């Protein structure tokens, strides 16, 4: 076992670590959730990451986005994510797509990936990504944040979690996110991803819901 | 009585738990109306722990939980 992975043991078995080295993960979004997700997946030793974001860093990202910093304002989030992965763990192969997810590129972005991480910041894009995962028969690790609240879940093909959570009439006006909320949500998403990829028992059809303001945690049966 | 629990931002101006007399309440939409909660502000609606729609029936003794939508990243 390489020294960089020693502290994965014995929480993960050597076999599980080797499995992770062979896995390919798509991360859609390199902002609040995506920065933490990419960092954690690279550190734990996932073999391949495809990171996607068409945006550049701006000042309003600095309160919460791990990969953002003042010198990087105006710089591509996806390219910054790739640079970060290379600094953290050069063993991880990276592909970068400096593009926003759309119906026209979703299928190609999912190609040859074992699992998809939702690090998006809006509902229409989540609908596109969830539909593409459904079509490609790939598990989708959902995460969403707002203010003090985070929620994360595994959506297996056939679960239709996004359709259930976001009916057409749903409306969100609050754009606030605090620094600790994406870190918590991303950690839960990466935890679910690692468990699923290594064959550890997972609970599907439920959402982990965290209200940090009221210090409440709920496991909600949804599917 | 019907026990209604609201979460996160739905608590602004409302109690965490409200006990409503079941008379006149036939479905979850009636509860949303009584608590002045627009349906587009509810993403997860649980009746006795199971996700349901606003038109789903509720009866005396039920526990209803309402969660607002969360969509950022």
* pLDDT tens digit at each of 223 positions of chain A: 899 999 999 999 999 999 999 999 999 999 999 999 999 999 999 999 999 999 999 999 999 999 999 999 999 999 999 999 999 999 999 999 999 999 999 999 999 999 999 999 999 999 999 999 999 999 999 999 999 999 999 999 999 999 999 988 787 878 899 999 999 999 999 999 999 999 999 999 999 999 999 999 999 998 7
Q: B2-67: what CATH class?
A: alpha beta
- How far off is chain B from A30, nearest CA to CA, in Å? 9
Provide the pairing of β-strand B17-20 with A140-146.
unpaired
Which of the four pLDDT bands, split at 50, 70 and 90, describes residue B43? very high
Query: Is B43 near chain A, with CB under 8 Å?
Result: yes
Reply yes or no on whether the pLDDT at B32 is more than 90.
Answer: yes
The residue of chain A with its CA nearest to that of B68 is: A172
SS3 label, residue A88: helix
Q: How far apart (Å, rounded) are the C-alpha atoms in residues A10 and A89?
A: 20
Q: Cβ separation of B44 and A221 shorter than 8 Å? A: no
Interface contact A37, partner B, CB < 8 A:
no
DSSP state of A212: T
Which one, of B68, B17, B28, B19, lies nearest residue B52 by Cα?
Answer: B28
Q: Which residues of A touch B11 (CB under 8 A)?
A: 214
- Token pair, residue A205, equals 């059809």
CB A138 within 8 A of CB A193: no
Is A117 near chain B, with CB under 8 Å? no
Kindly determine whether residue B71 and residue A166, on different chains, have CB atoms separated by under 8 Å: yes
Angle between helices A32-44 and A77-88 (to 10 degrees): 20
CB distance from B11 to chain A under 8 Å?
yes
A3-221 CATH pick, 3.30.1360.120, 3.40.50.170, 3.30.360.10, 3.40.50.720: 3.40.50.720
Which pairing describes strands A115-118 and A93-97: parallel, antiparallel, or unpaired? unpaired
B8 alpha-carbon distance from chain centroid: 13
Q: What is the pLDDT of residue A170?
A: 81
Q: How many CB pairs under 8 A join A and B?
A: 83
Gap between the Cα atoms of B25 and B27, Å rounded: 6
With CA atoms as reference, the chain A residue closest to B69 would be A172
Residue A149 CB contacts under 8 Å (≥ 6 apart), including other chains: A181, A209, A210, A211, A212, A213, B8, B9, B68, B70
Residue-averaged pLDDT of chain A:
96
In whole angstroms, give the CA distance from residue B7 to residue A78. 35
Extents of the domains making up chain A: 3-221
B73 closest CB neighbour out of A31, A148, A164: A31
Write out chain B residues lying below 8 Å of A207, CB-based.
Answer: 44
A114: closest CA of chain B, how far (Å): 22
Closest CA to A92 of A164, A36, A20: A20
- Say what the pLDDT of residue A169 is: 76
Residue A144 to chain B, least CA–CA distance (Å): 5
* Contacts B43 to A, Cβ<8 Å: 165-166, 170
Contact, A101 vs B73, CB < 8 A? no
Query: Facing residues of A210 across strands?
Result: A150, A217
């Amino acid at each position: 076992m390489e020294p960089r992975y020693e502290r994965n043991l014995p929480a993960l078995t050597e076999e599980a670590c080797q499995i992770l080295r062979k896995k390919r993960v798509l991360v859609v979004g390199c902002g609040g959730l995506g920065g933490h997700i990419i960092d954690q997946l690279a550190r734990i030793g996932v073999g391949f990451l495809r990171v996607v974001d068409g945006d550049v860093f701006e000042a309003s990202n600095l309160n919460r986005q791990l990969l953002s910093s003042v010198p990087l304002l105006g710089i591509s989030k996806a390219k910054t994510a790739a640079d970060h992965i290379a600094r953290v763990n050069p063993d991880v192969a990276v592909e970068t797509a400096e593009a926003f997810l759309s119906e026209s590129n979703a299928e190609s972005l999912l190609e040859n990936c074992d699992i998809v991480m939702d690090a998006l910041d809006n509902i229409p894009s989540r609908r596109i990504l969830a539909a593409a995962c459904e079509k490609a028969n790939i598990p989708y690790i959902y995460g969403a944040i707002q203010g003090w609240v985070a929620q994360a879940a595994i959506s297996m093909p056939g679960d239709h979690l996004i359709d259930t959570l976001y009916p057409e009439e749903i409306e969100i006006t609050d754009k606030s996110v605090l620094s600790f909320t994406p870190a918590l949500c991303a950690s839960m998403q990466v935890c679910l991803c690692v468990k699923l990829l290594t064959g550890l028992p997972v609970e599907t059809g439920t959402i982990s819901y965290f209200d940090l303001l009221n210090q409440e945690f709920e496991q909600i049966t949804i599917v | 009585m019907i026990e209604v629990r609201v979460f996160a931002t739905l608590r602004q101006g409302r109690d965490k738990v409200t006990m409503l007399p079941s008379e006149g309440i036939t479905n979850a939409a009636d509860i949303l109306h009584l608590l002045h909660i627009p349906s587009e502000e509810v993403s997860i609606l649980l009746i006795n722990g199971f996700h349901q729609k606003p038109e789903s029936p509720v009866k005396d003794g039920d526990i209803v939980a309402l969660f607002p939508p969360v969509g950022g990243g």
